Structure formats: structure tokens, C-alpha cells
Structure 1
Amino acid sequence: MKKLLALFLIIGLASCKSPEARYPVSQKSGSYIDESVARNKKLVAQEEQYIKNLMAEDSTTSYQASADGFWYYYNTKVADSITNDHPEFGDIVDFEYSISSIDGQTIYAEGEKPRRTYAMDQEKLFSGLRQGLKLMKEGETVTFLFPSHKAFGYYGDKEKIGTNMPIITKVTLYNIEKQTNNELDNQ
């Protein structure tokens, strides 16, 4: 009986011990993420330098740098005195575009992609084109030079555009249908 009582006493005292934290068997240092970031920074720098070299070789075209990390020039520019309207959030734009590789090889010819109606910032569209449309006015044609991270990035378009491929996109903006606040609230 004393042995049984001593056993219960030992078990009772042992169970009062506070739980100890369990440590992982192995720890990851995050080196894979650091390597990936370094690799991507190097890729972006190479693509941007290549695009800058292309622009430097073309002295006949007046390129502009966007605040969003791509370059562009106007094929057809609408004078500010005619309109100052640029598409904004929720506006419906009607546009058409073609895509070629940064070397000038046609990927999607003019007319190959159907004319598109797009609700600004409310539908899926690659980031460079979405940002580029905001720089345009109705009736303008603009050619954009996008590094791969502003185009289709790592995944490409799963059809003709490959991994990490910088592209040239020629866009014609036909119409901007301005949306009022009431129309946006009803959607």
C-alpha cells in the first residue's frame, strides 16, 4: 500500500511540471528566398539594361519612362487641347493590341487578339498593360516596352509567351466610357 501511495505521489508531482516548448528538428535559414530575390533582381536589371540599349540605338523615337517601370512612345498622340481624359478606376475602355518579342518578332499580330472591352482595374489584365492604358487618351496608339515582371512574368501566357519574356505591346485605345459614382455603386 505504501508503494502504491509513493507511486501516486511521484506521478502527481511529475504531472505538475509545466510543459516545455518543443523545438523543430531542423531550422530553415531562408537562404532559398534570399537566393530567389537576388536572382530576380539580377534578371530585372539585365532586362532593363537590354531595353535601355535598344532605346539608345533608336535615335528616331522619343521614348518616355513611366513611373511604373516600363517605357513607351506615341505612335499617334492626341493633343491636350482636344481631351485630357485618361481612363480611371471603373471606366470602360475599348482597345486593341498586338504583342512582339523585345527583338521585334511577332507573337500576336495586329487583329489576332480580338478587340477588347475592359473595366479599368476590375478585370484581369497583365499589370503593364493595365498601367499603360491609364496613360492613354481616346484615339491614341502607344507602343510599350515591358520587362517580363510587367508583362506575363514567370508563367508566361501559357500559349505563345514564355517564362520571363520582356515584350513590346502596341495598343490602340478607341473609346473611354466614363463611369459615374452612381454607376459604380450599382455594380
Structure 2
Amino acid sequence: MNRFYLIPDLFACALLLIASGCRTPVQEESQVPPDPVREQFIRANRYMQQRHQDHIAAFVERVGWEAEVTKDGLWIVMEKEGAGKRIIEGSRVSYSFESMLLDGTPCYRATEEDPKVVVIGSGDVESGVEEGLGRLREGAEATFIIPPHLAHGNFGDRNKIPGNTVLIYKVRILDVKQDG
């Protein structure tokens, strides 16, 4: 038997062993340690959101409204179901509204003669208002109770709405137009 036939096989095995030994060892993903300041802010925000929800719940009970609460924390009191077109993403919605603080202090308004017009999904209005409008139809009337995180947040609008304030919006859907 010729020993020279084994040399190429041994050479190939040696190359494989060397190549496999040269690989960089797989390192586990490094875990970023939690930032204690960030965690503290998250806890504080959750606490504040819960306080606002409790405050809204007490208000709704006190005035005797029956409200639906969305997963985001928007409260909706349906005054009149609309029979018209459904509001969907991209709808151009004309509506009248009155906004006020929880104590009744008026903030802003738009009348039937001079309505507010918004395209759903454009972000041109408070996220709580947009979410509420998206649950209505043309002709509907509703009241939205909007916690700060869905309205003007910690700073307010620097005009009529103070920071960290729950808002009430009474809306009436006047017209809904859909592209297409």
C-alpha cells in the first residue's frame, strides 16, 4: 500500500482543524444594564397616567356619564350615533367642537359655520382627538375625555391649556370625505 495516498487526506484534515480553530468565538450579546434614571422616569410616568385615569374615572362617575375607555386611555361618551360615512385613515373630517378643562374652563372651539377640518392619520390634531374621531361616523356627537399623554402632555399648549391637564372635547361630526 502506498503511503503517499494518505498525504492529501491528512493535509485536508489539518487545514480543516486549523480553519475551525481560527474562527472568532461567538460572543453572547452584551446586555446593557438598565439605566436607573430611565427606569425611574418610566415608573413616574406610569404612576402619573394611573393618577389621571383615576381622576377621570371619579369625574365620569360624579357626572353620571357612561363612557367607553380605549386601550390607550381615551374615554368616549357617545351622545348620538352617526348614520353617515365611517371615519377611516385618510378621511377628511369636518367637525365642530368645544374643548375645556375638567373644571369647565373653556379652551378652544370650532363652530358649524367655521368647523375644524382634519385628515385622519396626518397628526394635525391631538392624538386623543384623532383616536376618538376614528371611532365615529358622520352625524355622530360624542364627548372625549383626554388624558394629558394623548393631548398636550407635560407642557400644555403654552396658551390656554396648562401642562399635565385632562381635557374634555365635545365634538359633532359634520362631514366625512374619503379619497378614492
- Give TM class, smaller chain: 0.7 to 0.9
Conserved in 1, the CA contact under 8 Å of 2:68 and 2:75? yes
Which TM-score applies when normalising by structure 2?
0.73
**Offset of residue 109 of structure 1:** 4.7
RMSD: 1.9
Which TM-score applies when normalising by structure 1?
0.71
Conserved in 1, the CA contact under 8 Å of 2:91 and 2:177? yes
Conserved in 2, the CA contact under 8 Å of 1:64 and 1:72? yes
2:128 counterpart SS class: helix
1:164 counterpart SS class: coil
**Offset of residue 153 of structure 1:** 0.7
Q: Distance in 2 between matches of 1:94 and 1:30?
A: 45
Aligned to 1:147: 147
**Alignment of structure 1 residues 67-106 onto 2, 5 Å:** 67-78=71-82, 82-83=83-84, 85-106=85-106
**Alignment of structure 1 residues 109-128 onto 2, 5 Å:** 109=109, 111=111, 114-128=114-128
Aligned to 1:46: 51
Conserved in 1, the CA contact under 8 Å of 2:110 and 2:116? no
Conserved in 2, the CA contact under 8 Å of 1:94 and 1:174? yes
Query: AA paired with 2:124?
Result: K
Are residues 1:63 and 2:67 paired?
yes
Aligned to 2:138: 138
Bigger Cα Rg: 2
- The count of corresponding residues between Structure 1 and Structure 2 is 146
Aligned to 2:13: none
Are residues 1:30 and 2:35 paired?
yes
Q: Distance in 1 between matches of 2:51 and 2:132?
A: 22
Conserved in 2, the CA contact under 8 Å of 1:120 and 1:130? yes
Aligned to 1:176: 176
Runs of 4+ in 1 over 6 A off after TM superposition: none
Residue 179 and residue 110 in structure 1: after superposition, are their counterparts in 2 closer, same or farther (change >3 A)? closer
Query: AA paired with 1:158?
Result: R
Query: AA paired with 1:75?
Result: E
Conserved in 2, the CA contact under 8 Å of 1:91 and 1:177? yes
Are residues 1:162 and 2:157 paired?
no
Q: Distance in 2 between matches of 1:45 and 1:110?
A: 31
